[in-house]
Chain A
Amino acid sequence: MHYLRLIRSFIDVAFQNALAYRINFWVSLLHSILDLGTGILALMVLFSQVEAIRGWTLPATLALLGTYLLLGALRRLFIGPSLEALAGMDGEIWVGTFDFTLLRPVNVQFLASVRTWQPLAVLDLLLGAVVLLTASLRLGRALALVQVLYFIVTLLAAVAILYALLLAFSALVFWSPGLLFTWLFNALFQMARYPVGLYPGWLRLVLTWVVPVGVMTTVPAQALAGGLSLGMLLGSLGLAGGLFCGASLLFRTGLRRYASASS
């Protein structure tokens, strides 16, 4: 309960922050539209040359793009800004104000993960939803309820994976404060724009097992397009749970290290 109230307070503050710079609304809208536009145009260019790649048609790939945009939006909504405020450039570890966070009588991981919100990301959330809706209409057949259900479950698993990966990458900052690990993740995350099946074998393995960004978008898109096995569903849930625990552990180890090494 206390934690839910805290989240509400953080969102309140975020709204005030957003209102402090009104021009950012337009800039943010511009970015969202550019991101969406280039994404869709890139797909159009690709599918103007080929019918389907490795079984992925334009609507199915569009569904994947929608998932990608949705995940990206969720990330921008709170996971990204919160962890950026911790580990990014001008982040607390960089600037040294992390001390205050450590002194709060609240779970540090919780605090570090939900502290900063970007209300404008709701725009991206909407745009992503529109793309998903368009894609499902163009998939050409009525969606079964179970497909939608699978999609929602795998999307939630994807959010958990995204969070766990970002947390793990941010926690690396405790070992090497000068490195912007979130940048590295940014770069890898972009690969989730396309189905993992389009990448060569070795990269597919990396994107599935080492840094499973591929799983995040491919599995939900498959759920929507109707090519998801029960094994994949359970697999992505298991992966989400495992990564979440692993990342939390890494974060805690990093905290201990910070407390014994910082000056």
Chain B
Amino acid sequence: MLEPQIVVRGLSKTYRVPERNPGVGAALRSLIQRSYRSVEAVRDVSFNVAAGEVVGFIGPNGAGKTTTLKMLSGLLHPTAGEVVVMGEVPWERRPAYLRRISMVLGNKSQMLWDIPPLDSFRLLGEIYSVPPAQFRETLDELVALLELAPLLSKPVRTLSLGERMKCELVAGLLHRPAVLFLDEPTLGLDVSTQGRLRRFLGAYNRRNDVTMILTSHYMADVVALCPRVILIHHGILLYDGELDGLAHTLAPFKLIRVGLSSASQCALDLPGGVELLQRTNGSLALRVARELAPRITAQLLNTLPVVDLSVEDPPIEAVIDQIYQGDGDQEARL
């Protein structure tokens, strides 16, 4: 087992945020005295990441994903706990560390607005002291991969959101970072652009062995890119492991879809522990506890005119949605 590239131990972050009630009176009162409350954004989170891994951070808005990402990149000091990335403590922000990481934020731009991307790239090359030959080579490679060539000389403000995001990626990768933090990289993009960016990131990871940590609201991003996911909710790490295992652990159900031969109105006599989700003329959708699935399947095959039967894990979005919507609200429809 290799020494992990990123080590996170007992990481916690508490914010103090000002509070104010609506209305003129409260506005006047807040002139004199501000009241604060503490928000525990991240609580005692621990995990390791090996070099070259792609890890997806998932969780609802305000779960603490971005805060964790910012502590990993060195933008934020934690309240407690330790982080070591490639032997460095991120928030010391030593140049040697900063040259080996990069961050791409889907909702913020590091491109200069009024000039063509190429000039922004050159400036970044200077800032990161990328040797000219390596700069050319990296830029050519990225431009080819992302099909950016025709955009290089247009002012950034004239580019579309998707084109700009491609530029953001180039900007983030020019200095060949060993670790890449991606915060919502596909935010607001259309489906096909999202797909293209995903394919690019996957190819780039395989080719350059770059470690990637990604947060996204689009499960498709995570499914396509991340063999491993870390689920954070209310600042707590709920799950860390393979994406496939997420459903096993968090949603102990299987979906059984049954196709029936005749439009039989036969009386359904469902065994206990089975919930009917949907019934049309020719089909049934059932939800059963995971451990009951084999027995129930056999029962169904014996008692109904089945022409088609499938047993599935619930779709990952549904599992996530169930967690997001409420703590242990098992009644959420799958």
Chain A residues engaging chain B, CB cutoff 8 angstroms: 2, 5-6, 9-10, 12-13, 16-17, 20-21, 95-97, 99-100, 102-106, 111, 256, 259-263
Q: Are the CB atoms of B105 and A105 closer together than 8 Å?
A: no
Indicate which residue in A5, A99, A104, A261 contacts B108 across the interface (CB closer than 8 Å): A99
Chain B residues engaging chain A, CB cutoff 8 angstroms: 15-17, 41, 67, 70, 73-77, 91, 93, 95-99, 101-103, 105, 108-110, 112, 114-115, 119, 122-123, 126-129, 155
Q: Are the CB atoms of B105 and A99 closer together than 8 Å?
A: yes
Q: Are the CB atoms of B67 and A100 closer together than 8 Å?
A: no
Q: How many A-B residue pairs have CB under 8 A?
A: 77
Contacts of B108 in A (CB 8 A): 95-97, 99-100
Q: Are the CB atoms of A263 and B93 closer together than 8 Å?
A: no
Q: Are the CB atoms of A16 and B109 closer together than 8 Å?
A: no
Q: Which 7 A-B pairs have the closest CB atoms?
A: A105-B95, A105-B98, A260-B77, A100-B110, A20-B114, A9-B126, A105-B99
Known: A103-B74, A103-B103, A260-B77. 16 other contacts (CB 8 A): A6-B127, A16-B114, A21-B114, A96-B108, A99-B105, A99-B108, A100-B103, A100-B105, A103-B73, A103-B75, A104-B128, A105-B98, A259-B75, A259-B77, A260-B76, A263-B15
Contacts of A95 in B (CB 8 A): 108
Q: Are the CB atoms of B98 and A104 closer together than 8 Å?
A: yes
A60 to B101, CA, bound (A): 56
Q: Tell me whether chain B's interface is mostly helix, strand or loop, or mixed.
A: mixed
Q: A106-B95, A263-B15 are in contact. Are A10 and B115 (CB under 8 A)?
A: no
Q: Which residue of B lies closest to A111 (CB)?
A: B127
Q: Are the CB atoms of A105 and B128 closer together than 8 Å?
A: yes
Q: Are the CB atoms of B75 and A13 closer together than 8 Å?
A: no
Q: Are the CB atoms of B109 and A5 closer together than 8 Å?
A: no
Chain A proximity of B235: nearest CB distance (Å)? 13
Chain B proximity of A196: nearest CB distance (Å)? 34
Contacts of B128 in A (CB 8 A): 104-105
Contacts of B75 in A (CB 8 A): 99, 102-103, 259, 262
Q: A20-B114, A263-B67 are in contact. Are A99 and B122 (CB under 8 A)?
A: no
A51 to B129, CA, bound (A): 59
Chain A proximity of B180: nearest CB distance (Å)? 12
Contacts of A262 in B (CB 8 A): 75-76
Contacts of A263 in B (CB 8 A): 15, 17, 41, 67
Q: Which residue of B lies closest to A116 (CB)?
A: B112
- In the complex, 25 of the A-B residue pairs with CB atoms within 8 angstroms, ordered by the A residue number, are A2-B129, A10-B123, A13-B123, A16-B119, A20-B155, A96-B108, A99-B70, A99-B75, A100-B105, A100-B108, A100-B110, A102-B75, A103-B73, A103-B93, A103-B98, A105-B95, A105-B97, A105-B98, A106-B95, A106-B127, A259-B77, A262-B76, A263-B15, A263-B17, A263-B67
